[in-house]
Amino acid sequence: MKTVLITGANRGIGLEFCRQYAADGWRVLACSRHPEKSDELNKLAAQYPELIKVHALDVADHAQIERLVQVLANESPATEYIDLLINNAGVYPDSDNRGFGHTDYAEWMRAFRINTMAPLKMAETFAAHIARSKQKTIVTITSKMASIADNGSGGNYLYRSSKAAVNMVVKSLAIDLKPSGITAVVFHPGWVKTDMGGANALISAEQSVSGMRQVISRLTLADTGKFFGYDGQEIPW
């Protein structure tokens, strides 16, 4: 049985990843900041009690990430093998919409801690677990808004920069972890109808995740360090 560890699993894209992987018989380690408030995730876990385990994790708290290793070890020896890590947790600061001259620097720091630092901390913490598995894959959810080549509208300094930075983090991970056989990539999930994407978004979470899963299933070490769209198309840096 394969194992996937998903951050930000309580709603939207993260929740849909949990749903689809559990339906395919994967062991799902679903992480949420507040499990007691994650009603949809808890309902899903109740449908798959042998497959989905919900864990409390605030990715901005590095000590919590480190403690999760021991929690998983106590839960099951099988969690020593993590086939797929999905760094999905992220934040889009509300203040980013204020535009040039109205930067909330405290929020910018928070965006970097969650969007950029947390994926690296997760990779550092669980690299050995991933290396012991069969699939050996790290997926980080980024955004086309992080593409420097694609930026033709400006603005969104906080979100764009934190996601562009995590792209560079993953590019370095791809190089550093390649000797361990680990494939590390970033994904633009599309403009998805979630709390973050809004009602005017173009695709559903189901479409986005289904597309990404198809690409993930075909990844090889030759793909490490690439920037993909949910449809498998490569996106310019």
Q: Global pTM?
A: 0.95
**Residue 168 in contact with residue 148, Cβ under 8 Å?**
no
Residue 124 has pLDDT above 80, yes or no: yes
What's the confidence (pLDDT) of residue 197?
Answer: 62
What's the confidence (pLDDT) of residue 195?
Answer: 64
- Residue 63 domain-assigned (yes or no): yes
Residue 199: pLDDT band (50, 70, 90) is low
Domain count, the chain: 1
- Residue 173 domain-assigned (yes or no): yes
Residue 134's CATH number:
3.40.50.720
Print the domain residue range for 149: 3-229
What's the confidence (pLDDT) of residue 198?
Answer: 63
Give 71-80 pLDDT, tens digit per residue.
999 988 888 9
Question: CA–CA separation, 192 vs 199, rounded Å?
Answer: 9
DSSP one-letter string for 160-205: HHHHHHHHHHHHHHHHHSGGGT-EEEEEE--SBSSTTT-TT-SB-H
Give 97-116 pLDDT, tens digit per residue.
888 999 999 999 999 999 99
**Residue 95 in contact with residue 162, Cβ under 8 Å?**
no
Place of tokens 């934040």: 91
- Residue 40 domain-assigned (yes or no): yes
DSSP one-letter string for the chain: --EEEESSTTSHHHHHHHHHHHHTT-EEEEEES-GGG-HHHHHHHHHSTTTEEEEE--TT-HHHHHHHHHHHHHH-GGGG--SEEEE------GGGGG-TT---HHHHHHHHIIIIIHHHHHHHHHHHHHHTSSS-EEEEE--GGG-TTT--S---HHHHHHHHHHHHHHHHHHHHSGGGT-EEEEEE--SBSSTTT-TT-SB-HHHHHHHHHHHHHH--GGGTT-EEETTS-B---
What's the confidence (pLDDT) of residue 79?
Answer: 87
**Cβ–Cβ contacts within 10 Å for residue 235, how many?**
19
Closest CA to 143 of 188, 191, 91: 188
Give 133-192 pLDDT, tens digit per residue.
999 999 999 999 999 999 999 999 999 999 999 999 999 999 999 999 999 999 999 988
Place of tokens 């056989």: 181
Residue 216: pLDDT band (50, 70, 90) is very high
